[in-house]
């Protein structure tokens, strides 16, 4: 007798750089939803923001360092192998091809990214390919843009177990420990030469320093005459 495989989670992002605000909630989702794994998928070219200052390969390397040693965490380079802007609908399609039609797939997004979902390319197809897991702080349920609200309402899964019963199509609001850390804040601190210790894993920090990533901008030499 064959049983339904455990769901695979996908957390896409720029990861510029990856930090504990990504890692801790992802670990909670892995455990709470009994996922087989969480794939961290750094984008090659972000579709919704300006091009990062460090290369996609460097951001992927930071993701590799951050996820190494945590069972169930996987760094996935598929968006770097695809030309052009990175669209989640293409990423889910390629994963769906690998996993087959019956395996549950969960697209994991933060509450902020979720509120913008209706601006993503072919966003209404995302739930044909995967469930949607929205990571939000306990008790939070801010009003959604009307188009998104109408789309989501009939798909909400009140029980986590429902995600195991079908391969895609449900939306699960999952309470997690929200850490008020952003990559923007980390880049700003590094640009000012300030410490980012305890905001991201030590291995990521060491690599950022070794490779001189996100360095403070060098002041122009003072003219002497």
Which residues make up the interface to ligand ATP (CB under 6 A)? 13-16, 21-22, 25, 109-110, 112-113, 135, 178-179, 181-184
Is the Cβ–Cβ distance between 106 and 33 less than 8 Å?
yes
Q: Report in angstroms how near the CB of residue 149 gets to ligand ATP at its nearest.
A: 18
Give one DSSP letter per residue of 42-74, joined into a string.
Answer: E-SSBSSSPPPSS-HHHHHHHHHHHHTTSTTEE
Which one, 30 or 135, has the nearer CB to ligand ATP?
A: 135
User: Can you tell me whether residue 11 is helix, strand or coil?
Assistant: strand
Which one, 93 or 178, has the nearer CB to ligand ATP?
A: 178
Please state the φ and ψ torsions of residue 200, each to the nearest 5 degrees.
-150, 165
Which one, 112 or 165, has the nearer CB to ligand ATP?
A: 112
User: Can you tell me whether residue 203 is helix, strand or coil?
Assistant: helix
Which one, 133 or 170, has the nearer CB to ligand ATP?
A: 133
Give the residue closest to ligand ATP by C-beta.
110
Which one, 5 or 179, has the nearer CB to ligand ATP?
A: 179
Nearest to 174 by CA among 89, 110, 115, 120: 110
Q: Report in angstroms how near the CB of residue 42 gets to ligand ATP at its nearest.
A: 8
Which one, 179 or 203, has the nearer CB to ligand ATP?
A: 179
Q: Report in angstroms how near the CB of residue 221 gets to ligand ATP at its nearest.
A: 31
Q: Report in angstroms how near the CB of residue 52 gets to ligand ATP at its nearest.
A: 8
Q: Report in angstroms how near the CB of residue 19 gets to ligand ATP at its nearest.
A: 6
For the chain, what is the radius of gyration of the CA atoms? 19
Please state the φ and ψ torsions of residue 33, each to the nearest 5 degrees.
-100, 5
Task: State yes or no: cis peptide before 87, omega within 30 of 0.
Answer: no
Is the Cβ–Cβ distance between 201 and 66 less than 8 Å?
yes
Q: Report in angstroms how near the CB of residue 159 gets to ligand ATP at its nearest.
A: 22
């Amino acid at each position: 007798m064959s049983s339904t495989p455990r769901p695979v989670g996908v957390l896409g992002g720029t990861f510029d750089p990856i930090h504990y605000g990504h890692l801790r909630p992802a670990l909670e989702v892995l455990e709470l939803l009994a996922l087989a794994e969480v794939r961290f998928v750094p984008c090659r070219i972000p579709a919704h923001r300006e091009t990062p200052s460090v290369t996609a390969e460097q951001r992927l390397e930071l993701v590799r360092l951050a996820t190494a040693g945590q069972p169930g965490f996987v760094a996935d380079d598929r968006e770097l192998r695809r030309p052009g802007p990175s669209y989640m609908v293409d990423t889910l399609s390629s994963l769906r091809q690998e996993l087959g039609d019956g395996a549950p797939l969960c697209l994991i997004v933060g509450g902020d990214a979720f509120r913008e979902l209706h601006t993503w390319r072919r966003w209404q197809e995302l739930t044909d390919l995967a469930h949607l897991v929205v990571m939000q702080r306990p008790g939070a349920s801010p009003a959604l843009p009307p188009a998104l609200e109408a789309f989501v309402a009939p798909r909400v899964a009140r029980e986590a177990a429902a995600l195991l019963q079908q391969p895609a199509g449900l939306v699960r609001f999952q309470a997690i420990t929200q850490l008020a850390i952003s990559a923007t804040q980390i880049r700003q601190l590094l640009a000012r030469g300030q410490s980012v210790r305890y905001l991201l894993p030590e291995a990521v920090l060491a690599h950022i320093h070794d490779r001189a990533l996100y360095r403070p901008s060098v002041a122009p030499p003072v003219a002497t005459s």
